[in-house]
Amino acid sequence: MKIAFENNLRFAKTLDRSDHLQSYRSKFFIPEINGKKSIYFSGNSLGLQPKTTGKFINQELADWAKLGVEGHEHAERPWLYYHKLSKKILAEIVGAKPTEVVAMNQLTVNLHLMMVTFYRPNSSRYKILTEAGAFSSDQYAFESQIKFHGLNAEDALIELKPRENEFTLRTEDILTAIEENANEIALVIFGGVQYYTGQFFDLKKITEAGQKAGAVVGFDLAHAVGNVDLHLHHHNVDFAVWCSYKYLNSGPGGIAGVFVHERNFKQTDPLRFAGWWGHQESARFEMKKGFKPMDGADGWQVSNVPVLQAAAHLASLEIFHAAGMKALRNKSIVLTGYLEFLLKENDPLEKYYKIITPSGAADRGCQLSLYIKRNGQKIFTGLTKKGISLDWREPNVIRLAPVPLYNTFEEVYRFMEIFKSLF
Ligand SMILES: *Cc1c(COP(=O)(O)O)cnc(C)c1O
């Protein structure tokens, strides 16, 4: 459905009134700047706190106070089985079966754990193919994994750059690069949504091409989970990792997650770094020698569950379940579309800024990245002073993420009024 957008406040308010998800904003604490509610466009860095988070964490604190160690069995949500509680909703969000997902650890830790299993270089097939300019932590993980196998990143890491004068990768170029390196790549790994440009990669096509080339294919979904539609199972992705503190609103340093396709469960005894929480539940406390993994993604768990973080995670996942990813994505497309419309109306010739995020809704999530042509830092500072929370990326990019759960069309309009006034 194409909406004929209008550049006026009345129209923005009309969009808000017809928004079925409007009531969800009141489920979150909106941070203030200078004593006034901010326009919070930083949900891609740290999602907002649901008002129910405190209740979920307090339940665990109360059970811990009352029960001590007995809480493992007798807490309202017994801690021993806590990792099971998030599975169903996580599976809905990433398009997987509940057995294929588990919440655990932190994102980069999970990336390493998955690479231990899924990056298995040999003398002829040893390269990793990824996007240039991946998030720093991912770059460090890739380089150190390569070194761990006694290889050299200069040789073993293929980083694809956009064409000259372009900001984002063309899918056709990614597919060609996969084909051209088909004999040498062990692993193809991309962000789901690129953190800097906001580009939503074509997971289906990349997976198909990577696997056809004989490689394993994984994704870092830090900026995709809770933001765009994902069909990890259906698209046959081998593995994926994500964090929960960005769009998933589970709090700073929140518990992360992994997906392992059930196809990969059939490998007998896949190589992995094991720990007791991945050991068969019925025998875990026998404390015996000989690791026997749990079925499914659970077998990749290492440590027991950080329950306070996992409680915050559940609070947020409940909201996602109630709102539904489909409805969220539908609103998101219109909300970001409206921001794009206003930005283009204001500067049609791209004299002052350029949107580097792809313009098609299928190729992006909610984030728009703007390349500011002059005085970027000054404009960024001006925006924050006027109550807008957003972020700055060197050398001259601001990122704006209108989030469908808690941002409004009116906020998008008001942002634009302030932004305009700074040029
Ligand atoms: C946010 C983000 C990270 C952060 O890693 P942590 O392990 O959660 O600290 C890593 N990679 C990507 C792509 C990210 O967007």
For residue 377, CA distances in Å to 40, 188, 380, 390, 416 come to 19, 35, 5, 12, 17
Which of 289, 321, 353 is the endpoint of a domain?
321
For atom 14 of ligand 1, which residue has the closest CA?
222
Cα(72) to ligand 1 centroid in Å equals 30
What pLDDT, on the 0 to 100 scale, is given for residue 268?
A: 72
Domain membership flag for residue 1: no
388-389 and 39-40 strand pairing: parallel
- What pLDDT is stored for residue 267 in this prediction? 77
Judge whether 336 and 364 are in contact, CB under 8 Å. yes
* 42, 105, 107: residue to mutate for ligand 1 pocket, most atoms within 8 A of CB: 107
CB contact set of 233 (below 8 Å; sequence gap of 6+)? 95, 96, 97, 100, 261, 262
> Do both 131 and 246 map to the same domain?
yes
Structure tokens at 319: 């909201």
143 plus 168 within the same structural domain: yes
Q: Which residues pair with 368 in a beta bridge?
A: 400
Residue found under tokens 């200078």: 34
Using a 6 Å cutoff on CB, does residue 248 contact ligand 1?
no
Of all protein residues, the one whose alpha carbon is nearest to atom 2 of ligand 1 is 222
Task: Give the integer Cα–Cα distance in Å for 123 and 132.
Answer: 24
Residue at a domain's end among 270, 305, 321: 321
65 and 123 housed in the same domain: yes
End-to-end CA distance of the chain: 33
Residue nearest to atom 1 of ligand 1 (CA): 222
* CATH value at residue 303: 3.40.640.10
Q: Could you tell me if the CB of 14 is within 6 A of ligand 1?
A: no
pLDDT at position 289: 94
Is residue 225 within 8 Å of residue 93, measured between CB atoms?
A: yes
- Residue 3 counted as domain residue: no
Last residue of a domain, one of 270, 300, 321: 321
340 lines ligand 1 (CB under 6 A): no
- Provide the sign of the torsion angle of the four alpha carbons 165, 166, 169, 172, taken in this order: negative
Evaluate: CB of 112 within 6 angstroms of ligand 1: no
Q: Is 399 in the pocket of ligand 1 (CB under 6 A)?
A: no
Specify the pLDDT at position 266: 82
Q: Is the CB of 223 under 6 A from ligand 1?
A: yes
Q: Counting atoms of ligand 1 from 1, which one is nearest the CA of 109?
A: 7
Co-location of 40 and 168 in the same domain = no
Atom of ligand 1 nearest to the CA of 108: 7
Instruction: List the 368-372 sheet strands across, edge first.
Output: 353-355, 368-372, 397-400, 391-393
23, part of any domain? yes
Of ligand 1's listed atoms, the one at least distance from the Cα of 111 is 7
Ligand 1 within 6 A of 202 CB?
no
The ligand 1 atom at the shortest distance from the C-alpha of residue 106 is 7
3-state helix, strand, coil in the chain (%, to 5): 45, 15, 40
Co-location of 86 and 153 in the same domain? yes
Q: Cβ(42) to ligand 1 under 6 A? A: no
Per residue of the chain (423 residues), give pLDDT as tens.
578 999 999 999 999 999 999 999 999 999 999 999 999 999 999 999 999 999 999 999 999 999 999 999 999 999 999 999 999 999 999 999 999 999 999 999 999 999 999 999 999 999 999 999 999 999 999 999 999 999 999 999 999 999 999 999 999 999 999 999 999 999 999 999 999 999 999 999 999 999 999 999 999 999 999 999 999 999 999 999 999 999 999 999 999 999 999 999 987 778 999 999 999 999 998 889 999 999 999 999 999 999 999 999 999 999 999 999 999 999 999 999 999 999 999 999 999 999 999 999 999 999 999 999 999 999 999 999 999 999 999 999 999 999 999 999 999 999 999 999 999
Give the type of residue at 303.
S
Burial class (CB in 10 A: 0-12, 13-18, 19+), 382: middle
All residues at 6 or more sequence positions from 329 whose CB lies less than 8 Å from its CB, including other chains: 228, 229, 404
We report the CATH number of the domain holding residue 388 as 3.90.1150.10
Ligand 1: atom nearest CA of 110 is 7
pTM of full prediction above 0.85: yes
Task: Indicate if 127 and 252 belong to the same structural domain.
Answer: yes
Cβ of 255 less than 6 Å from ligand 1 = no
* C-alpha of residue 256 to centroid of ligand 1, in Å: 10
Number of structural domains found in the chain: 2
Is 4 within a domain? no
DSSP 352-416: SEEE-S-SSGGGB-S-EEEEESS-HHHHHHHHHHTTEE-EEETTTEEEEB--TTT--HHHHHHHH
Identify whether 381 is part of a domain.
Answer: yes
Residues 45 and 73 in one domain: no
Do 311 and 397 share a domain, yes or no?
no
Residue 215 lies in a domain: yes
78 C-alpha to center of ligand 1: Å? Answer: 29
- Note whether residue 198 is domain-resident: yes
Report whether residue 243 contacts ligand 1, using a CB cutoff of 6 Å.
yes
| Any ligand 1 atom below 6 A from CB of 195 | yes
The predicted pLDDT at position 1 comes to: 56
Say how many Å lie between the CA of residue 189 and the centre of ligand 1.
14
Q: Which atom of ligand 1 is nearest to the CA of 223?
A: 15
**Residue 343 and residue 290 in one domain:** no
Residue 254 CA to ligand 1 centre (angstroms): 11
Candidates 129, 132, 128; CA nearest to 166 is: 132
Ligand 1 centroid – CA 110 distance (Å):
10
The residue contributing the CA closest to ligand 1 atom 13 is 135
135 lines ligand 1 (CB under 6 A): yes
Asked whether residue 70 falls in the same domain as residue 218, the answer is: yes
Instruction: Classify residue 66: in a domain, yes or no.
Output: yes
Same domain, 252 and 305: yes
> Same structural domain for residues 95 and 163?
yes
Residue 299 structural domain: 58-321
> Is the CB–ligand 1 distance for residue 113 below 6 Å?
no
